[in-house]
A = this chain, B = another copy of it.
C-alpha cells in the first residue's frame, strides 16, 4: 500500500503523483481548494480517495455536491482557500426504531458498505454501524431499520462456492430472525455469479434478497453506490415479492432509476459503465426510483406482462417458518468455452483434475468440434455431468438441428435451453452439491428451479 490509513489522514487514499502535488500545495483532505488547471479554475473540497484509486487524479467536491476528478498533469496550482475539517464518518444516531419500519439486514462482503460500496472493495473506512450508515445516507433510515453486518472481507474475484454457502446459511438464519429483507453489498466482478448461486441455494426464500454493487466508487464523479444501495434497501424492505435479485443503475440515459434484475438471468455486460448489468432474455423484475419502487408494467421495453414475482423466480412474501436454504456447492465443475482448435485433451485433463461437471459454452446452437466428441463421451461414461450452453449469450441452444448437436445429445450432453453459461456453471456446482447421484444432479439441471431458463415459445 502506498499510503497509510489512519497514520496519514490528511491525504486519505492519495499516493504517488497526486500525493506529491497535494503535499507541495500544503492541502489536506477537507480543505477548500482553488485549483488552477489548463482549462480553468475549480473551487471545491478535497475529498478522500479510495485505496485502489489511481495516483494521477485529485478529486474535489463542488458546492453542488458533484465530485470532479482533476488530472495532476493538468493542474498548475492549488491554493487552500479555507482549512477544513477532515470529513469523517460521523456516527449520528439514527431515528430510534419505531418498530414500524421493516427490518433489513445489510451484509457486507468486501468490508465496505454505503459510502464505500466500491467496485470491488478497498474502502479505507468502511461504514459499518447503523449510525454511520445513517450519517452517510440518511434516506436509508426513512426506508427501513438497517442492521449492517460484515460477513466477508475479500475481493469480488476471490469469492467462491465456500462464500456462497456462508452467505446462504446466514440469510437462512436471517429469515428465522424475522428480517423482512436482506441486502448484500458485493463487488461487481462476480456479482452475477453470486446472485445465481443464491438463487439456487435460497429457492423459496420468503423475503427479498438483493445484491447491490457499484461500478464507480464513492470518491468518483457520478458514483452509483449510494443510489444502488437505496434502491436495494427499498426492494428488500418494501417489495411485495420474494426471491434473489440484483439492484444496479438502470441506464446512462436515466440517472435516477435502479434496475431490479432476476438473480439467475443477470450478466455484467460492460467493464465500466454504471448500467453494465443487464437482464438477458427476460424483463426486469422492477425499477426503483426516488419516487418509490415501481412494479413495472408494459411500458418498459421487453416487460411484456410477465409478473415480477411469478413462476420459479420468486413468489410473494411469506412462509418464514417453512424455509430452509440448500447451501451446499461442489466446486468440481469447469466452465469450458469452445474455440477453434480447442484440443480434446483439455476435456480429458479436466476429468483427470477431478472435475465432476463440465459446462460447455459451445458455438451457435451449442456445438463443439467433432474431434472433441469422443472425449465428451468418455467424460459422461465415466460418470461426469456434461451440459451445453451457448457463447452467443442470447437465444437458446438446440441439439436437435444438426448432426454435431445430435451426436452430443446422444453422448449424454444436456442442453440447457437459454440458461446463461455463468448461471449454468454455478447451477451445476449447486446440483452436484445437493444430489446423491449424478443422475439426480442431471434432473436438477433440466428443471427450471429459480427462473434460470425461460419457456420455449414454440415447443418442438
Residues of A within 8 A of B (CB): 52-54, 56, 71, 119-120, 122, 155-161, 164, 187-190, 193-194, 268-273, 276, 331, 333-335, 337-343, 345-346, 349-350, 353, 361-371, 390-398, 400-404, 422, 425-426, 429, 460
Q: Is there an interface contact between B371 and A158, defined as CB atoms closer than 8 Å? A: yes
Interface of A is mostly: loop
From known contacts A161-B340, A353-B346, infer whether A397 and B271 are also in contact, taking CB-CB under 8 Å.
Answer: yes
**What residues on B are CB-neighbors of A346 within 8 Å?**
334, 350, 353
Q: Is there an interface contact between A159 and B395, defined as CB atoms closer than 8 Å? A: no
Q: Is there an interface contact between A395 and B364, defined as CB atoms closer than 8 Å? A: no
Beta-carbon nearest neighbor of A364 in chain B: B189
Q: Is there an interface contact between A189 and B349, defined as CB atoms closer than 8 Å? A: no
Q: Is there an interface contact between A276 and B395, defined as CB atoms closer than 8 Å? A: yes
Report which of B119, B122, B270, B367 forms a contact with A394, defined as CB distance below 8 A: B270
User: How many monomers of this chain does the complex have?
Assistant: 2
Report which of B156, B270, B394, B404 forms a contact with A395, defined as CB distance below 8 A: B270
**CB-defined A-B contacts under 8 Å, sample of 15:** A53-B401, A122-B402, A122-B403, A156-B363, A157-B368, A158-B369, A161-B341, A268-B392, A271-B365, A276-B392, A276-B395, A333-B341, A334-B339, A346-B350, A349-B350
**What residues on B are CB-neighbors of A269 within 8 Å?**
392-394
Q: Is there an interface contact between A341 and B337, defined as CB atoms closer than 8 Å? A: no
From known contacts A340-B193, A361-B337, A422-B339, infer whether A271 and B157 are also in contact, taking CB-CB under 8 Å.
Answer: no
Q: Is there an interface contact between A270 and B337, defined as CB atoms closer than 8 Å? A: no
Q: Is there an interface contact between B398 and A363, defined as CB atoms closer than 8 Å? A: no
Report which of B54, B363, B368 forms a contact with A460, defined as CB distance below 8 A: B54
Q: Is there an interface contact between B188 and A54, defined as CB atoms closer than 8 Å? A: no
Report which of B71, B119, B272 forms a contact with A402, defined as CB distance below 8 A: B119
